[in-house]
Structure 1
C-alpha cells in the first residue's frame, strides 16, 4: 500500500504516517519541492520501516510546468534534480519512483523516467514489478465516490489482485487549511478505511501480506505489497 503525496501538506503527511503506524500503508512517495516537504522528510526519518520513494512533480505548487514535456533531456534533468533533492532531505536514496498525477505515463515523458529509473536501479510505477492497482480512488468525472474507498471497496480490490507483487495506490490524509487539492474529503475516508481492523483480517484470509518497496531488494518471498 503506497501513500502518494507525502509532503503535500502537514495534514496529508500526518495522515500517511498514521496509516503507516496504525494501518496497512507500507510505502509512501514524497514530493520534494512543497512547503511541507522538509517537515515530511524529517518525519519519515523516524519511520525506518516505511519505504519512501520520490513522487516527481513536473509542475510547481501553482500548477505551472517546470519543463517542456517534449524535451526529454530537460525532463530527465528535472527528475535527476528531484532525486538529488530527495537524498538531501531524507538522507538516503528513494526506494521507488513515481509521479504526481502520474505524469510519467505521458508518452513524451516516459522515456526520461525510464532512463533515470534504470540508472538508479529504482522500480518505476507501471514499468516493472510490482503490478500497479489504481482503483482505490474516490473521485472521478467531477463526482465523489466514497463507496470505492470504503472498507468493502478496498476488500474487493484486494480480492481482485493478481498473484505476486502488487502496489495499491492510496491518498490518505487530513484536509487541513494548507491542502490545495480538490481531493479533500476523500483523503479522510481513505484514512479511516486503511486504519480499519477488517482490512488486515481480509488480507490474511486472502493470503496477502503487506510489505514495502524495500522488500523488493531483499529477496523477500512475501507475495504482495
Structure 2
C-alpha cells in the first residue's frame, strides 16, 4: 500500500484583526491547520498572541514578517516616513533596484522577532513574509542573518514561495501570480539551505480573492503535483470592521474558513492519500 503523503496547511495573517484571529483559532482547534503565521506589529498581537500560545501544541507557530501593512514597531524614517508601511509594489521596486534602507529593515526584523518571542515566550517554528516580502533581494539576506544570529538554523523552517514550473503548470489556476512570486523567489531556497535552514518543497494557495469563486474547487488544485514537503497557505477568518479598515480581502476569508471546517477537506485529503502534518516534524534536514 502506498504511503500517505504529508501536507502542511498554514493560516496567514493571525493577529490582523480580532475576527481573523478567532476564525484561525477555530480552524486550529478543529485540527485543520498545521501551521499559523502571525502578524505582530498590530494592536491585536499581545492579547491574541496569548490565545494562540494556549493552542500552539498542535501546530507550528511562525512569524509572518511584515513590511507592507500597518505601522512599523520602531522608527523607519526612510522606509516608512509617514509612520505606515509602503505598498508592496513600492517595496518590490526598491528591492529590485537595490534602494532599500537595509539598516532600518534589519532593525525592524529584530523588533518583530522580539515581539513574537516576548508574547509567546518561545522562538518561532517557521518564518515567512506578508505578501512574500521575505524572499525579496536584500530583505532575504537580512532575514537570514538575523535568524542565524538568533541560532534558529537547524531549528526553524522557512517558506519557499517559489514552486517548480511543472507543479505550477499542473495546477493551472492562478499560474500568473505563482510565476511572478517564483521569479522574485529565485535563489531563495539555496540561500536558506546554505545557512542551515530547511524549507518546504511544493507550495500552493495562490488566490485572486474573488468572492464569486469556489474556494473548494481552488483548494483541489492546491493538492495537485505536491512536493515532498508540500505547503499550502490559506487566509481564513471572520470579517469585522477592524479587518475592513485594514485589508481588501474580506468575504473570501469567511469562505476559506467554512471550507476548512467542512467535511470536504478531510475527504479531499483521503481521496489523494494525504494527511496533515507539521513541517517541523517532517524531517527538517530533508528539503
1:123 is the counterpart of 2:157: yes
Q: 1:93 to 1:43 in 2, by over 3 A?
A: same
Q: What TM-score comes out, normalization by structure 1 length?
A: 0.84
Conserved in 1, the CA contact under 8 Å of 2:70 and 2:85?
no
Q: 1:156 to 1:23 in 2, by over 3 A?
A: farther
Following TM superposition, where does structure 1 have runs of at least 4 consecutive aligned residues deviating by more than 4 angstroms?
A: 66-69, 216-219
Query: May I ask how many residue pairs the two structures share in their alignment?
Result: 214
Q: Rg larger in 1 or in 2? A: 2
Residue in 2 aligned with 1:178? 242
1:191 is the counterpart of 2:257: yes
Deviation digits for residues 127-152 of structure 1 (CA, Å, limit 9, x no counterpart): 3421352434242xxxx15435x222
Conserved in 2, the CA contact under 8 Å of 1:8 and 1:36?
yes
Shift of 1:102: 1.2
**Equivalent in 135, 152, 155 of residue 205 of structure 2:** 135
Shift of 1:80: 1.8
Structure 1: any 5+ residue segments left out of the alignment? none
Residue in 2 aligned with 1:107? 137
**Equivalent in 152, 155, 158 of residue 217 of structure 2:** 152
Q: What TM-score comes out, normalization by structure 2 length?
A: 0.67
* 3-state SS of 1:40 partner: helix
Residue in 1 aligned with 2:61? 52
Structure 2: any 5+ residue segments left out of the alignment? 1-8, 72-82, 161-188, 190-197
* 3-state SS of 2:232 partner: strand
Aligned equivalents of 2:52 and 2:67: distance in 1?
A: 23
CA RMSD of aligned residues (A): 2.5
Aligned equivalents of 1:94 and 1:158: distance in 2?
A: 26
Aligned equivalents of 1:123 and 1:218: distance in 2?
A: 7
Residue in 2 aligned with 1:161? 226
